[in-house]
Structure 1
């Protein structure tokens, strides 16, 4: 009989350990915090976090494992009694936001909310899979006084387009960036991250710093915080830490129930025209999203499903192949009106029923056409709209974020016990 525990035994016993890797301020060498890295039982097939999560996912217990890993990390950090100004970076799997915290883990998580300065790490795939859920989880995180980090930026080009929606306090450059500083892809990633950090005040953190050369490259990429074997390998926490300083969090984005037209029209002048005149503008923005130059988010409101024509459906389907997120919202539309396209059905009294919006957000481009139906009868092409067109990136992202809330899941995500 084998002494190797099966995955259910590991999860039932909460048999997960946490190692920690320091996060260091590059200019001073001071430790700002630690990233928590989970491991299964030593010597077992589940010691590797990849194998551990793969097995849990296979049996439908990935969300539970994520809670276990986070609770274990919080408990270890609390027990160490280190400087309260330290930041604790802890990963969260998207699936965990759909599951309530197991009762036996709740006390430790609640203690962390009151006593630790946590930065919850999320990935771009969480945004694409459940945009509304991720925004809700990020908001819950910030309500607790915690920060948000976007992990592995650059590993997948899609992350650049989705970055402004999460509005992370910390952007973690994937370690591959340091190993290919001359690659055109690296240059595009670094430029997009630098633009976001400059506009928002976010911290840029370089992962995988192993040598002095990597450290020098990280600085040229705008990183002010680093992580990697050059500063320390994953290990138990030290009994004491040297001088520390707190990693700053940025101002959270506004979270409200306004519509894109309301948001943009409050800050841009309106003009009045017909649907026939608006169509070329709408098609132009769709073309921007589908030109293949960079991964781009496309969000559109069609008022009614009849306006989401077969030709439009084909265009959106083609764009979705290379886009991290394409959505079509309107009365009578299904959750997936075209393969790869997210959908949302509007109710009779929904404010969006009166709007025609096309919003495009990419790493280096942003544009929004917002229009409000004046309610005319008569020929379709002569229907009149008040409209505004903007390329102001901050304003476009604000309008786009408001639409993500219509792509709502059935259940409110849970980041912390209530």
Structure 2
């Protein structure tokens, strides 16, 4: 949220500006849930078109000039996202219960990455929805990486509550692809461009990344935006087994019919990766350990950084470099170059100055933190998984900096790398 110098306007994260001097607006009412009416769009089995459930969509029909994007942008700018998110979820489930949605039917409800999770213990509607339906929380694509701590807490809480997760509009931006391994959703919802745009190298790159993840983890693929038989053909080509779109039914304020087919969601994923463990603890016992002096680790780090810089799938890059003294000008320039193409580049260290490198997230920690003895470079993307994880040997008394010795692992095990990445991502404020 930002106000101009006159104090009369509010600017949202998407650059939209609202005039505060005009008094209470329709948006002020909308963010409290006034006028909110859930609409339901059928989710169908492909290719048969048999309805298996519905996605609940937030709408304000009495204020047709207000779309959900604008309402949620205003809620974010006025720090009311959590409250609005809860109202939308509770009313959506309540409307499904009231409308007689059959037991076991699939019910998708949208949830903002920036909102705190309100779970079964605190929401009667989430509890009842979980008991009666195949409840699916759909994490929207808005600003996924801007709210990482909240998002990761929400994913862990949903897992603990036994609620399935969908990642929405995957492929609309690199962020959603970068987080596939971290969130590991039961359901992947394809971005409309994969269904409606002509096939291209760009859509092939995105589609191949999604299909690779499905092959590894067994996620279910849902195609949205199916309006024609040509769109349906493209959805099937990308491996979608469920679909939505005007070809099967438009959103409606009432449940138009009862699903005639029961659809089981994939088995729920295990709980989140142990964020309490340090990255080196993650690899200990999982990979062969070696010992080398600093120049060897420096060469491996440069190789991993260069590989990420030239990779076609633009992986995230996470680096722990012990101390800010190791983040000199050449390194800062390399990481600024990485940030030009990678969806997330983060550097962790003691005495690292924020904003030292354009586009790079700087995460400082105390010199006594366990990370101060660890040297880590992680590259993780749809087709990239490589990491150097090292721990400096204590009490060496090395004569010079290059003589410092480290126990280290170089791994390409995606599960191990994802756990290492999660341990670092949970530290981002």
TM-score, normalised relative to structure 1: 0.88
What residue is the counterpart of 1:309 in the other structure? Answer: 328
What residue is the counterpart of 1:217 in the other structure? Answer: 234
Matches within 5 A, 1:209-248: 209-235=226-252, 236-238=254-256, 240-248=258-266
Please tell me whether the aligned partners of residues 296 and 362 of structure 1 are also in contact (alpha carbons under 8 angstroms).
yes
Change (3 A) 1:264 1:125: farther
Offset, 1:337: 4.4
Offset, 1:76: 0.9
What residue is the counterpart of 1:413 in the other structure? Answer: none
Mapped partners of 2:220, 2:130: distance in 1: 22
What residue is the counterpart of 2:216 in the other structure? Answer: 199
Offset, 1:22: 1.3
What residue is the counterpart of 2:40 in the other structure? Answer: 20
Please tell me whether the aligned partners of residues 292 and 322 of structure 1 are also in contact (alpha carbons under 8 angstroms).
no
Change (3 A) 1:123 1:297: farther
Q: Which secondary structure state, in structure 1, belongs to the residue aligned with residue 114 of structure 2?
A: helix
Change (3 A) 1:374 1:59: closer
Please tell me whether the aligned partners of residues 122 and 150 of structure 1 are also in contact (alpha carbons under 8 angstroms).
yes
Change (3 A) 1:60 1:372: closer
- The answer to whether the aligner puts 1:386 opposite 2:407 as a matched pair is yes
Q: CA RMSD in A?
A: 2.4
What residue is the counterpart of 2:195 in the other structure? Answer: 178
Please tell me whether the aligned partners of residues 33 and 88 of structure 2 are also in contact (alpha carbons under 8 angstroms).
no
What residue is the counterpart of 2:16 in the other structure? Answer: none
Q: What per-residue deviation string (whole Å, max 9, x for no partner) do you get for residues 250-299 of structure 1?
A: 42355212222222232221111100111111011111222263322000
- The answer to whether the aligner puts 1:134 opposite 2:155 as a matched pair is no
Change (3 A) 1:247 1:29: farther
Please tell me whether the aligned partners of residues 162 and 268 of structure 2 are also in contact (alpha carbons under 8 angstroms).
no
Deviation larger for 269-278 or 259-268: 259-268
Mapped partners of 1:241, 1:223: distance in 2: 19
Mapped partners of 1:83, 1:336: distance in 2: 53
Mapped partners of 2:142, 2:31: distance in 1: 25
- The answer to whether the aligner puts 1:290 opposite 2:309 as a matched pair is yes
Mapped partners of 2:307, 2:142: distance in 1: 22
Please tell me whether the aligned partners of residues 56 and 65 of structure 1 are also in contact (alpha carbons under 8 angstroms).
yes
Change (3 A) 1:390 1:233: same
User: Among residues 407, 417, 420, which one is paired with 1:396 in the alignment?
Assistant: 417
Q: Which secondary structure state, in structure 2, belongs to the residue aligned with residue 34 of structure 1?
A: strand
Offset, 1:64: 2.8
Q: Which secondary structure state, in structure 2, belongs to the residue aligned with residue 159 of structure 1?
A: helix
- The answer to whether the aligner puts 1:364 opposite 2:383 as a matched pair is yes
What residue is the counterpart of 1:144 in the other structure? Answer: 161
What residue is the counterpart of 2:269 in the other structure? Answer: 251
What residue is the counterpart of 2:369 in the other structure? Answer: 350
Offset, 1:29: 3.5
Mapped partners of 2:374, 2:237: distance in 1: 44
Please tell me whether the aligned partners of residues 117 and 145 of structure 1 are also in contact (alpha carbons under 8 angstroms).
no
Higher relative contact order (CA 8 A, sep 6+): 1
Mapped partners of 1:157, 1:307: distance in 2: 29
Matches within 5 A, 1:99-114: 106-114=123-131
Mapped partners of 1:398, 1:332: distance in 2: 25
Q: Which secondary structure state, in structure 2, belongs to the residue aligned with residue 94 of structure 1?
A: coil
- The answer to whether the aligner puts 1:84 opposite 2:98 as a matched pair is no
- The answer to whether the aligner puts 1:331 opposite 2:350 as a matched pair is yes
Unaligned runs of 5+ residues in structure 2 are: 1-23
Please tell me whether the aligned partners of residues 159 and 271 of structure 2 are also in contact (alpha carbons under 8 angstroms).
no
Mapped partners of 2:171, 2:408: distance in 1: 36
Q: Which secondary structure state, in structure 2, belongs to the residue aligned with residue 73 of structure 1?
A: helix
Aligned residues: 400
Offset, 1:401: 1.6
Mapped partners of 1:406, 1:379: distance in 2: 31
Offset, 1:51: 3.2
Mapped partners of 1:38, 1:127: distance in 2: 19
Deviation larger for 248-257 or 311-320: 248-257
Please tell me whether the aligned partners of residues 200 and 250 of structure 1 are also in contact (alpha carbons under 8 angstroms).
no
Please tell me whether the aligned partners of residues 162 and 324 of structure 1 are also in contact (alpha carbons under 8 angstroms).
no
- The answer to whether the aligner puts 1:38 opposite 2:55 as a matched pair is no
Offset, 1:131: 2.2
TM-score, normalised relative to structure 2: 0.86
Please tell me whether the aligned partners of residues 299 and 400 of structure 1 are also in contact (alpha carbons under 8 angstroms).
yes
Please tell me whether the aligned partners of residues 202 and 249 of structure 1 are also in contact (alpha carbons under 8 angstroms).
no
